[in-house]
Amino acid sequence: MAGFEEIQRFVEEHGHPPEHGEDKDIFERLYAVRLDRIRSLEECRTLVGPMDHQGLLDEKAAIQTDPDESIDDETLLAELAGAAGASDLTELRHVRSRAEVRAAEEVANREACEDFDLFKPLFDQVETDLKSGLRKTVRFGQDAGINQGEFFILSGQTVFVAEKGDEFATPQGHPDARLRVVFSNGTESNLLLRSLQRALYKDEAGRRITDADSGPLFSESWEEEDVESGTIYVLRSLSEHPFVAEHRELVHKIGVTGGKVETRLANAPHDATYLLADVEVVATYKLAGINRRKLEALFHRIFAPAQLDLTIQDRFGHPVKPREWFLVPLHVIDEAVKRIQDGSITEVLYDPATAQLKS
């Protein structure tokens, strides 16, 4: 990953992927060989794919070279060793500062997160919250606080602070702690808190992701996405999919509409959103002055731990993974609606183990 990031920096500085050729700089040729290797190894492509915002893994972007121009790493390293000519053994050259060494070690210490399946729903929910407006990103300030459970954006990746150890003082008297940091590309690292602070502050695109804030669901002043008379509806699928059929009493879709519920369901058997099957309305709740976008996003955040993980084929044979269905008993949804009415809904989260809403 560190090697791929070096290639990305080269592209940002020069405006093109590294190329082979005897007329090219030795470092560019080294990066070109490295990029070819990454493109050819599926495990490498999978690992760095989420980082590839420049499309470097696209085979069409590969530089075509004559076979005799392609050289291996050993030859390149031999050229690199003599590129600067002979030097006095008593003269230190190309010695990195301790800060650079520490930064390189932090990158190199990233490893695959073995239990990433536990964190992926959290990353998915944060992405949904950002799109819906429940969360926003703010610039990270120098020496700003970092706590367990918080999300950040670093080098284009979402970062989650999964664990925070006991705090201790640095030799300079600053508070520090060891963190377990999980990245959205499925890797993790044990970083010092101050190392993450420095990295976020130095990264011009580094951001803190705020906590989810539903904002006012009901208000006297009308906004563009408010509806004067809204309906929360709960659907049960009549699909014959084996999993859905087995858990039919638990599989529910929760939505909000400003119009007639029946109108939205007219095309259900042909819509992957409704699992390509008829549905039945098992509950409706009338509300007034409601912000539909915020309410739907809030429901999806609360029941995210019970989101249905199911992939079906749409009518064109393409795989689709509906996101609006949840394995939740109807009585819990009824309780959630009551909490909307008394204002306590933002304080709870659904616990699948006990099938209850918990603060």
- CA-closest candidate to residue 3, choices 33, 25, 40, 26: 33
Q: Do 204 and 231 have their domain in common?
A: no
Contact 238, 281 (CB under 8 A): no
Q: Do 57 and 122 have their domain in common?
A: no
Which H/E stretch holds residue 246?
helix 242-246
Q: If the chain, 359 residues long, is cut into consecutive pieces of 10 residues, what is the mean pLDDT of each piece? A: 85 86 79 87 84 79 43 52 44 48 51 90 85 79 84 90 88 85 91 88 87 52 51 87 88 83 82 85 77 76 85 74 85 86 76 86
- Tokens 């990103």 locate to 137
Position 21 in a domain: yes
Q: Do 52 and 127 have their domain in common?
A: no
> Cα–Cα distance between 150 and 140 in angstroms, integer?
13
Looking at the structure of the chain, the number of domains it has is 3
> Cα–Cα distance between 10 and 106 in angstroms, integer?
21
> Cα–Cα distance between 123 and 107 in angstroms, integer?
21
Give me the pLDDT at residue 226, please. Answer: 47
Instruction: Write down which residue in 209, 235, 269 finishes a domain.
Output: 209
Task: Identify residue 157 by its one-letter amino acid code.
Answer: Q
Contact 275, 237 (CB under 8 A): yes
Position 56 in a domain: yes
Look up the domain containing 291 and give its range: 226-358
Position 327 in a domain: yes
Q: Do 234 and 328 have their domain in common?
A: yes
Q: Do 167 and 260 have their domain in common?
A: no
Q: Do 130 and 11 have their domain in common?
A: no
Provide the whole-model pTM. Answer: 0.41
Position 285 in a domain: yes
Position 72 in a domain: yes
> Cα–Cα distance between 149 and 123 in angstroms, integer?
12
Q: Do 288 and 337 have their domain in common?
A: yes
**Rounded to the nearest 10 degrees, what angle do helices 98-108 and 193-202 cross at?**
100
Q: Do 349 and 236 have their domain in common?
A: yes
Give me the pLDDT at residue 161, please. Answer: 93
Q: Do 353 and 234 have their domain in common?
A: yes
Position 99 in a domain: no
Give me the pLDDT at residue 108, please. Answer: 42
Give me the pLDDT at residue 47, please. Answer: 84
Instruction: Write down which residue in 165, 181, 209 finishes a domain.
Output: 209
Q: Do 185 and 240 have their domain in common?
A: no
Q: Do 239 and 125 have their domain in common?
A: no
Position 220 in a domain: no
Q: Do 36 and 136 have their domain in common?
A: no
Write the DSSP symbol of residue 110: -
Contact 207, 139 (CB under 8 A): yes
Give me the pLDDT at residue 179, please. Answer: 92
